[in-house]
Structure 1
């Protein structure tokens, strides 16, 4: 990835382009590179910002989706952002939902892809022994429709992460927090425009999750991407960007 990481006041982030802000939130095992094609496509016309969420840095007692939402608010205030369009994948979508309920004045529209918040198939309650690279490969491939999307580089990243005991403890704490924090009863309060861009073959947040989000969010639209799993912006970036552009154009100032 050729985009520069910036570090200021305890925040590490990418900030590319100028214009209306697009704030991208990565998932639990996600990386900034997951959004590479979105940055390339939209930074010529928008200001694309991706903060690294402090999943591994929070005190264990406060590790959870609410703490990440508070971190996002500190970041948005630090960067003095307004009229934000917020995009979230997986856990990042869940954090986005919590955020817009708490701070609707900062965000004008929301895009969710493979978002948790209603139901998700996570890694499960435990990890196998260190040497089990085959397990990691299988789990990373499970994320996608096409197993080839799970590159050796991506598998190595996840393998290193789950062989760090401190990180694993926080991953499990965060995953449990996300499962506990079911948002079904709160979604009707989110009245801003929401785009749901979903892989029709997502096995982690399956299609029925997208349908339920669409039914519960009063101002939402649902777009399907065929032959696509849990991370459409990685696996089918052209189609993802197409639907994102349609949504952004519709809600431009």
Structure 2
């Protein structure tokens, strides 16, 4: 991560730029650096905030998508954020959905990419499989259209996690929580302008999932990117930002220029 981490109370986060807040939430095996290209592109126009999500640090009883949404709410309240542009990838998208459903007054727009919340084919019944590095490498590569983007550093990190018994228990708890927390019957309540950016080659949340979100969220638009998997902001950052920029511009207050 090339940006400095700030600390406030129990929260650690990146906070770059000025303007309307753009809050970014990463997924289960994600990290803050997943959003480097988004920060680079938009920090001159927005206040970009990326919290370290406590995916494996919550008490086991709180280790759920709703527990993470409560964490996000406390974070937002601590920083006194309003009129948020909220962007979530994968599990971070699921948490974003729960948050906007519970606190719609704080969210100005919603951006989802490869989000769970309806359907996810992420880990399979046998995942995480302990002690098999090649298996973890293959599974990590499934995140991308180009498996080589699953770097050794990323694979090593996932491998380490899956060889820690308590971390594995929490991963399973989060995965089961995401499956149980299907939001199909609630999505019609989201009134915020919503941007859906999906990889055409996403095998974790396949293209039909994006189409279903488009059907269920009233004020939404859907864009697909070819030769792209589950994390477009990492795999094809230029294409991702080209779709994000006009959406944000359309939904951002213009600041009068000073003479």
Same fold flag (TM > 0.5): yes
Give the 3-state SS of the residue equivalent to 1:195 in structure 2.
strand
**Residue of structure 1 in register with 2:256 after alignment:** none
- After TM superposition, the score normalised by the length of structure 2 is 0.95
* Alpha-carbon separation, structure 1, partners of 2:125 and 2:177: 12
* Alpha-carbon separation, structure 2, partners of 1:164 and 1:45: 41
1:82-121 matches, within 5 Å, as 82-121=82-121
**Residue of structure 2 in register with 1:169 after alignment:** 169
* Alpha-carbon separation, structure 1, partners of 2:247 and 2:193: 9
- After TM superposition, the score normalised by the length of structure 1 is 0.98
Instruction: Note the alpha carbon deviations across 1:172-212, whole angstroms, 9 max, x for none.
Output: 10010000000000000001100000001000000000000
Counterpart check, 1:2 vs 2:28? no
| Structure 2 unaligned regions, length at least 5 | 254-259
* Alpha-carbon separation, structure 2, partners of 1:76 and 1:209: 28
Deviation at 1:125, TM superposition (A): 3.7
Deviation at 1:32, TM superposition (A): 0.7
Paired residues in the alignment total 252
Kept in 1: contact 2:141–2:149 (CA 8 A):
yes
Moved over 4 A (4+): none
Counterpart check, 1:128 vs 2:129? yes
* Alpha-carbon separation, structure 1, partners of 2:118 and 2:75: 26
Give the 3-state SS of the residue equivalent to 1:68 in structure 2.
helix
Deviation at 1:121, TM superposition (A): 0.7
| Structure 1 unaligned regions, length at least 5 | none
**Residue of structure 1 in register with 2:239 after alignment:** 239
Deviation at 1:246, TM superposition (A): 1.2
Deviation at 1:118, TM superposition (A): 0.2
Deviation at 1:122, TM superposition (A): 2.1
1:10-159 matches, within 5 Å, as 10-126=10-126, 127-130=128-131, 132-159=132-159
Kept in 2: contact 1:199–1:207 (CA 8 A):
yes
Kept in 2: contact 1:125–1:172 (CA 8 A):
no
What is the CA RMSD across the aligned residues, in angstroms? 0.9
Give the 3-state SS of the residue equivalent to 1:24 in structure 2.
strand
Deviation at 1:157, TM superposition (A): 1.5
* Alpha-carbon separation, structure 2, partners of 1:37 and 1:71: 25
